[in-house]
Amino acid sequence: MATMPEVDGIFQKYAQERHIPGMVWGVVIDGELVHTNVVGIRNRVTNVPVTRDTVFRIASMTKSFTALAILKLRDAGKLSLEDPVSRWLPEFARMELPTSDSGPVRVKHLMTHGAGFPEDNPWGDQQLGASDAELTEWLQKGIPFSSAPGTQYEYSNYGFGLLGRIVTKASGMPYRTYLESEILKPLGMKSSTLESSAVPSEKLAVGYRRLKDGTYQEEKALGHGAFGAMGGLLTTAEDLGRYVAFQLSAWPPRDGKDTGPVARASVREMNQLARPSTLSGNKGQARVSGYGYGLGVSMDCRFSHIVTHGGGLPGYGSHMAWLPEYGVGIFAMTNLTYQGPGASVSQSWDVLRKSGALQTRQLPVAPALSGMRNSIVAIWRDNDMPGLRRSAAMNLFLDVPEPERKAQIAALQNETGACREARELHPENWLRGVFDMKCERGTVRVKFTLAPTQPPLLQYLNFTRLPENAPAFSPAPACTE
């Protein structure tokens, strides 16, 4: 793809400006890792370069894997997202809640950073290797709440550490064993693990911290422990590409057998906003964001659905993001403390968008929508008002009376002449669509929506003459450049 050198330049510039020892990045399109590139070294002592097989710790990007494990157990009937956490962790039955009217902490609250626990990034990162006994002791002492359960978003590593213990309790096997056997192995992520000591030394990216004097200090490798579910996974570009491709494979909803370790419907569930976090403005352009299950979810003026997560630990930084409506994902991993290149991923989206390289995944056209489109073409061609009455929901002629609608169509037909070609139908969903008709004197755009009736009937129909030389239909960009 012609745009990849420009994408490479973005990441290379980031690595240079941030003095990153080593980095790998990749682009996934339609289920394939179509591009990877690297810069720098994985070990400053041996000076060995990074390759696509180099293993990096991805820190909090682990959280979506934990969410997948929970959803798989939910789908198997082993637990419910509505379960009070006390069902699985009895210490919660004795835990003092912040107010007398607080509801219980539920599994879904842990999944969405809504349990009411305080933000704990500085503290939580250092607990990765904590023992099960230590976690039990902390729970017995209680957790201080910063808000009532289920009322606010606040990022909590603690919460995802607890989800790891719930996976252990519900599955009957250690979290690591369950994740590797039920998620990683079925996805073909053969080089991924939760234990850094299991990675061959010739494959591991050594983690570094850059000191104020410009020198580098090797970070002590954190072991896998009771908090591993919040940030312990190590992986390669090849494996992470498989994971991003799996997430994207759930879109769009369609017929056909599920082939992945977790049902497509459940994967889509975790990719959707469950708890809002912020509404921020930048240069007059709003961005809405929040959290799904183990994943950040947002929309902005460029894209209506962005799924993302970063990761940072002593020695490592990472970021991944994908656009379900386009079937494209980008990720990057570094071996420098907290240097996750999220801004570089976002800049890469801009490059792909402006180049025209991003192509919207076409939704399957539902038979009802296709059939109504054919009826609309015939109604227009034959000026068939009885046919329109047969296709109309009860509101269509209440909103625009039949004589007025008939006059509008006749006036437009007089302007455009005969329409000889009905172009491709673009479904917005299974009951709403847009198509253009090429006429003797211009183009008519048709927008229509079907009602929640059986069979689905027309509740909205609009014909608009487009300006001369108007481009073919495409979603209008909302960004102001």
**pLDDT for position 279:** 47
Partners of residue 126 on adjacent β-strands: none
Residue with tokens 């020198």: 215
Token reading at 399: 């909103």
Q: DSSP secondary-structure letter at 142?
A: -
Q: Find, among 67, 82, 89, 80, the residue nearest to 142 by Cα.
A: 89
Which alpha helices (DSSP H) does 32-75 contain, by range? Answer: 62-75
Task: Phi first, then psi: give them for residue 106, nearest 5 degrees.
Answer: -110, 165
pLDDT in tens, 259-303: 999 999 999 999 999 999 854 444 445 678 999 999 999 999 899
Q: Among 56, 263, 72, which Cα is nearest to 163's? A: 72
Mind listing the pLDDT tens digit for each residue in 1-57? 679 999 999 999 999 999 999 999 999 999 999 999 999 999 999 999 999 999 999
Series of mean pLDDT values for 10-residue runs along the chain (481 residues) = 91 98 98 98 97 98 99 99 98 96 98 97 90 96 96 97 98 98 98 95 97 96 92 98 99 94 99 81 64 96 95 98 98 98 96 91 91 97 94 97 95 93 94 96 96 98 88 60 52
Geometric angle at alpha carbon 432, from 426 and 434, rounded to 5°: 35
Please give the Cα distance from 140 to 134 (Å, whole number): 10
Residues 6+ apart with CB under 8 A from 177: none
Angle between helices 157-171 and 132-141 (to 10 degrees): 110
Check: CB of residue 448 under 8 Å from CB of residue 428: no
Q: What is the pLDDT of residue 280?
A: 43
Angle between helices 4-17 and 342-355 (to 10 degrees): 160
DSSP character for 319? Answer: E
What is the crossing angle of helices 62-75 and 157-171, to 10°? 40
pLDDT at 474: 63
Centroid of chain to Cα 133: 35
Asked if 323 and 329 touch (Cβ cutoff 8 Å), the reply is yes
* DSSP symbols for 259-290: -SSS-HHHHHHHTS-SEEEEEEEETTEEEEEE
| Residue of 436, 430, 465, 466 lying closest to 449 (CA atoms) | 430
Q: Which residues 6+ apart lie within 8 Å of 296 measured at CB?
A: 289, 290, 307, 308, 309
Domains of the chain: 1-361 (3.40.710.10), 367-465 (3.10.450)
The reported pLDDT for the residue numbered 472 is 66
